[in-house]
C-alpha cells in the first residue's frame, strides 16, 4: 500500500490571508466585562444550589427523619392460653414459737446446777439451787407485813360498820306491828336525846301467849298444834287456842310433883290484855281431860322496848300511847351531829389501809418469786439455748438460762401492701435456710395494720414451721416464697406487649413536633423514651417502646403503670392486622408500627415476664412486643 500524502499549500508570509466569513473580530473591553459577570453569577448559583441541597439533606437527616423506620425490625408474639402465678418472696427471721428465760438475782452463790447449754428439759424440772437464807427471811417479813395490814383493814371495817349502824339508828321505827305503850312524853322536837333514853314500848296484842305446867304423867299426850280451850275466869268466857311449844323441862311444885311446860297461843278478840288469869284444858287421845297444875297469866305475843342508841337532837317525833303502828313505821328521827363526818374520815382511813395491804401483798409476791428463783424449775419444755450460770460461783449480773421449744418455729415475714389482699391464714409457704435446707410452713397470722418504711407499706405476718428434728435454728434468716394467687387457662402475653398510654384529646390526637409529622423520641407516658441498650459486641438488641417495668405482683387493676399527668390513661396492646371493632384511636406519640391497630385491654395477674389478659384480646392475636435493632458500637 502506497502512502498517500496531502499536499500543503504554502502561503507567502508577506501576502495577508483573506478573512473567513465565520471568524469574529477581537473582543472589546465591554464584552470581556460582561463575560466575567456572567461567570460569577453562574458560580454563585451553583454554590447556592449546593448549600440548599446540603441543608435539605441535613434537615431530612437530623430534623425530619422518620424515627420509626430507624427503630429496627418489628417483633411480635401470639396471644396464648396458659396459667400465671403471683408469687410473694422475701427473707424472714426464724424464732421459737415458745421461749422463756430464767434469771436469778445476782450475787447469790450457785449451790447446784443441773443443766447446761444444749440440754433438753421438761416443764417443772429443777434447774439449780441457790443459797436462799436471806430470801426465806424476806418472805417471812413480807408475810408479817401482810397480816398486820389486813388486821388494820379489818379493824377499820368494824369501826365503819359501827358508824354506819349508828347513822341507821338515828331513825327509830316500829320493829313490828302492834301498839305503843309507855311512851316517853319528854321527847319533843329540838330536844337532845342521850344514849339509853327510853322512847316507848311496842306490844303485839293481836295475839296472846299463855305458859302452863302439866304433870309428867301426860308426857307424850300433848303435842304441838293440838287444840285447846282457854278459860278466862275474869271474863267468864273461853276462847280457842293452840299448843305452840312443848318444853320437857322439870319443874318441881311444892306438892312434890314434877311438871313440864306447855305454851299456848290464842287470838285476841280485842277484849283481852296482858296479865289476865287464864287456864287451858286438853283432851287426851282416849278422850280423858287433861288439866294444868295451876292457872297462868296472859302475855303479849311480842314486846319490844325502844331506847335511844345514838345521841342527837330530835327532828321528828310521832309517838302516842296506845296508838296502833305497823312494822317499820317512823317513830322518832334524830339529827346527825358528827356521824357523817366520822364515816367519811373512817372511809378515808380504810382506803389508805387497803393500799397498805396491796403494797404488802405485792412485796410478798416479789419475795416469793425471788425465793422460787433460788430453786427455779423449767417454765416450759424445750432445749436450753444458753446457760450463763456456773456451779459454785455467784450469779453474775444479767446471768440467765434461756429455754426454747424449737419443735415449732415461727418465721416473721413482711407482705407488700399490693399483695396482702391475696394472702390468707393457712397458705403453704416454701422456706429455705442459708444452708440450703428446705422447710414447709403455713401462714399463721397477718397483722391488720401496716408498717410504713421508705415509702413502702408492709404488713407483718408470721409463718408456723414444724421443726421436730431441730434443723431450723433460732435467729437464722430464711428465704420464703409462696403463691399468693393463680389464674389457670387464661390468655397470656409478655409484659412488653402491654403499654400504659395517654388517650388522645377529644377532637384529635396530640400535635407532633416537626413539620413532617415526625414523632419526638418520648416515652408513652410523657417522659423520655428509654434509649436502646448498647451492645458491647455490636450485636442485635431488642428494643421496646415505653414498655412497663416494675409491675406489682397480683395487680389486677388493669393499669400496669402510671399515666401522663393531665390526661386519661388506658392500658393497650398493638394487634397486627386490619382494624376491627376492638380498635381505638391511636395517638402518634404512641409510635404504633404500621400494620397494627390499638386495642384497649384489661389485665389481671402478672409475674416478672407475663401478664394475664382478662379482656380485649383473642387467643392467637399477634401483638407487638418491640423492635430488633443492630448496635454498631457502644453508643447504639
Exposed / middle / buried, residue 473 (Cβ in 10 Å: 0-12, 13-18, 19+): middle
Q: Which residues contact 404 (CB under 8 A, 6 or more apart)?
A: 96, 98, 99, 100, 382, 383, 385, 474
* Mean pLDDT on 342-364: 89
As a whole number of angstroms, the distance between CA 382 and CA 407 comes to: 8
As a whole number of angstroms, the distance between CA 138 and CA 141 comes to: 5
Q: What are phi and psi of 311, to 5 degrees?
A: -70, 145
pLDDT at 564: 36
State the chain's mean pLDDT as an integer: 81
pLDDT at 305: 94
pLDDT at 632: 45
As a whole number of angstroms, the distance between CA 404 and CA 236 comes to: 99
> Which 3 state secondary structure label does DSSP give 137?
helix
As a whole number of angstroms, the distance between CA 484 and CA 461 comes to: 14
Q: Helices 339-374 and 133-169 meet at what angle, rounded to 10?
A: 160
Cell digits of residue 337: 351531829
pLDDT at 511: 34
As a whole number of angstroms, the distance between CA 414 and CA 411 comes to: 10
pLDDT at 54: 67
Angle at 216 between CA 213 and CA 217, to 5 degrees: 120
* Mean pLDDT on 353-373: 88
Is pLDDT at 347 greater than 70 in this prediction?
A: yes
pLDDT, greater one: 190 or 519: 190
Handedness of CA 169, 171, 177, 182 (dihedral sign): positive
As a whole number of angstroms, the distance between CA 271 and CA 392 comes to: 98
Is pLDDT at 34 greater than 80 in this prediction?
A: no
Q: 46: alpha, beta or left, given left = phi > 0 and alpha = psi -120 to 50?
A: alpha
Is pLDDT at 230 greater than 90 in this prediction?
A: yes
Q: What are phi and psi of 175, to 5 degrees?
A: -70, -20
Is pLDDT at 193 greater than 90 in this prediction?
A: no
Q: What are phi and psi of 101, to 5 degrees?
A: -125, 135
Number of H helices, E strands in the chain: 4, 33
Q: What are phi and psi of 462, to 5 degrees?
A: -125, 140
Cell digits of residue 231: 278459860
| CA 599 to each of CA 522, 545, 577, 578, 616: distance values in angstroms, whole numbers, following the listed order | 21, 16, 12, 12, 6
Tens digits of per-residue pLDDT, 502-517? 988 765 443 333 333 3
Contact in structure between 178 and 206 (CB atoms under 8 Å): yes
Q: Determine what percent of the chain is predicted with pLDDT higher than 90.
A: 48
Q: Which residues contact 58 (CB under 8 A, 6 or more apart)?
A: none
pLDDT, greater one: 537 or 33: 33
Is pLDDT at 12 greater than 70 in this prediction?
A: no
As a whole number of angstroms, the distance between CA 165 and CA 305 comes to: 19
Is pLDDT at 559 greater than 50 in this prediction?
A: no
As a whole number of angstroms, the distance between CA 115 and CA 127 comes to: 6
Handedness of CA 307, 309, 312, 316 (dihedral sign): negative
Cell digits of residue 275: 296479865
Exposed / middle / buried, residue 551 (Cβ in 10 Å: 0-12, 13-18, 19+): middle
Q: Given the C-alpha cell 455490636, which residue does it identify?
A: 538
> Which 3 state secondary structure label does DSSP give 71?
coil
> Which 3 state secondary structure label does DSSP give 388?
coil
Contact in structure between 484 and 442 (CB atoms under 8 Å): no
Between 132-146, 537-551, 571-585, the lowest mean confidence (pLDDT) is in 537-551
Contact in structure between 371 and 136 (CB atoms under 8 Å): yes
Contact in structure between 616 and 570 (CB atoms under 8 Å): no
Dihedral over alpha carbons 487, 488, 492, 498 (to 10 degrees):
-10
DSSP 151-167: HHHHHHHHHHHHHHHHH
Buried b / exposed e over 368-393, threshold 16 CB at 10 Å, is eebbebbbbebbeebbbbebebeeee
Q: Model pTM?
A: 0.42
| CA 135 to each of CA 100, 131, 368, 533: distance values in angstroms, whole numbers, following the listed order | 23, 8, 8, 77
Q: Give the pLDDT band (50/70/90) at residue 159.
A: confident
Tens digits of per-residue pLDDT, 66-114? 555 566 789 999 999 999 887 888 899 999 999 999 988 888 888 999 9
* Mean pLDDT on 520-533: 35
* Mean pLDDT on 422-446: 92
Contact in structure between 307 and 197 (CB atoms under 8 Å): yes
> Which 3 state secondary structure label does DSSP give 154?
helix
As a whole number of angstroms, the distance between CA 609 and CA 472 comes to: 33
Q: How many CA atoms lie within 13 A of 527 on its CB side?
A: 10
Contact in structure between 189 and 315 (CB atoms under 8 Å): yes
Amino acid at each position: 500500500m502506497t502512502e498517500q500524502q496531502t499536499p500543503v499549500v504554502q502561503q507567502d508570509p508577506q501576502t495577508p490571508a483573506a478573512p473567513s466569513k465565520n471568524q469574529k473580530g477581537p473582543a472589546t473591553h465591554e464584552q470581556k466585562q460582561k463575560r466575567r459577570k456572567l461567570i460569577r453569577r453562574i458560580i454563585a448559583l451553583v454554590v447556592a444550589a449546593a448549600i440548599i441541597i446540603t441543608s435539605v439533606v441535613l434537615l431530612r437527616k437530623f430534623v425530619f427523619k422518620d424515627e420509626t423506620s430507624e427503630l429496627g425490625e418489628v417483633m411480635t408474639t401470639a396471644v396464648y392460653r396458659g396459667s400465671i402465678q403471683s408469687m410473694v418472696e422475701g427473707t424472714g427471721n426464724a424464732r421459737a414459737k415458745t421461749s422463756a428465760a430464767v434469771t436469778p438475782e445476782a450475787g447469790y452463790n450457785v449451790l447446784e446446777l443441773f443443766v447446761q447449754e444444749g440440754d433438753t428439759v421438761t416443764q417443772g424440772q429443777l434447774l439449780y439451787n441457790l443459797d436462799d437464807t436471806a430470801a426465806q427471811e424476806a418472805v417471812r417479813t413480807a408475810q408479817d407485813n401482810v397480816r398486820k395490814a389486813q388486821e388494820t383493814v379489818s379493824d377499820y371495817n368494824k369501826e365503819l360498820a359501827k358508824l354506819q349502824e349508828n347513822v341507821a339508828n338515828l331513825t327509830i321505827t316500829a320493829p313490828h306491828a302492834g301498839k305503843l305503850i309507855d311512851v316517853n312524853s319528854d321527847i319533843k322536837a329540838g330536844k337532845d336525846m342521850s344514849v339509853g333514853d327510853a322512847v316507848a314500848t311496842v306490844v303485839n296484842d293481836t295475839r296472846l301467849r299463855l305458859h302452863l305446867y302439866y304433870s309428867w304423867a301426860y308426857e307424850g299426850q300433848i303435842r304441838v298444834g293440838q287444840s285447846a280451850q282457854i278459860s278466862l275466869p275474869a271474863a267468864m268466857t273461853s276462847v280457842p287456842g293452840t299448843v305452840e311449844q312443848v318444853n320437857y323441862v322439870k319443874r318441881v311444885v311444892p306438892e312434890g310433883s314434877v311438871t313440864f311446860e306447855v305454851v299456848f297461843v290464842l287470838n285476841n278478840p280485842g277484849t283481852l290484855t296482858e296479865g289476865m288469869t287464864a287456864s287451858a284444858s286438853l283432851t287426851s287421845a282416849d278422850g280423858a281431860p287433861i288439866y294444868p297444875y295451876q292457872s297462868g297469866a296472859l302475855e303479849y305475843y311480842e314486846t319490844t322496848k325502844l331506847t335511844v342508841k345514838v345521841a342527837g337532837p330530835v327532828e321528828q317525833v310521832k309517838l302516842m300511847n296506845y296508838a296502833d303502828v305497823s312494822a317499820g313505821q317512823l317513830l322518832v328521827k334524830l339529827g346527825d351531829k358528827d356521824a357523817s363526818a366520822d364515816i367519811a374520815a373512817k372511809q378515808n382511813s380504810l382506803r389508805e389501809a387497803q393500799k397498805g395491804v396491796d403494797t404488802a401483798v405485792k412485796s410478798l409476791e416479789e419475795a416469793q418469786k425471788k425465793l422460787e428463783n433460788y430453786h427455779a424449775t423449767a417454765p416450759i419444755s424445750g432445749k436450753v439455748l444458753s446457760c450463763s450460770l456456773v456451779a459454785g460461783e455467784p450469779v453474775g449480773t444479767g446471768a440467765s438460762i434461756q429455754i426454747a421449744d424449737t419443735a415449732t418455729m415461727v418465721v416473721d415475714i413482711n407482705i407488700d401492701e399490693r399483695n396482702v389482699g391475696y394472702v390468707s391464714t393457712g397458705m403453704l409457704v416454701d422456706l429455705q435456710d442459708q444452708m440450703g435446707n428446705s422447710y414447709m410452713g403455713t401462714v399463721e397470722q397477718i397483722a391488720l395494720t401496716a408498717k410504713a418504711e421508705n415509702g413502702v407499706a408492709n404488713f407483718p405476718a408470721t409463718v408456723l414451721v414444724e421443726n421436730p428434728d431441730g434443723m431450723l435454728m433460732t435467729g437464722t434468716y430464711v428465704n420464703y416464697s409462696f403463691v399468693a394467687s393463680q389464674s389457670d387457662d387464661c390468655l397470656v402475653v409478655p409484659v412488653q406487649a402491654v403499654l400504659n398510654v395517654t388517650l388522645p384529646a377529644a377532637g384529635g390526637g396530640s400535635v407532633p413536633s416537626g413539620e413532617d409529622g415526625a414523632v419526638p423520641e418520648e416515652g408513652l407516658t410523657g417522659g423520655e423514651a428509654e434509649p436502646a441498650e448498647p451492645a458491647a459486641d455490636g450485636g442485635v438488641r431488642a428494643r421496646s417502646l415505653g414498655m412497663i417495668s416494675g409491675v406489682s405482683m397480683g395487680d389486677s387493676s388493669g393499669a400496669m403503670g402510671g399515666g401522663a399527668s393531665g390526661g386519661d390513661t388506658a392500658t393497650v396492646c398493638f394487634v397486627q392486622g386490619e382494624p376491627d371493632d376492638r380498635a381505638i384511636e391511636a395517638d402518634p406519640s404512641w409510635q404504633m408500627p404500621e400494620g397494627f391497630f390499638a386495642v384497649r385491654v384489661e389485665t389481671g395477674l402478672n409475674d416478672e415476664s407475663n401478664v394475664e389478659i382478662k379482656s380485649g384480646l383473642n387467643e392467637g392475636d399477634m401483638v407487638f412486643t418491640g423492635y430488633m435493632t443492630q448496635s454498631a458500637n457502644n453508643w447504639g
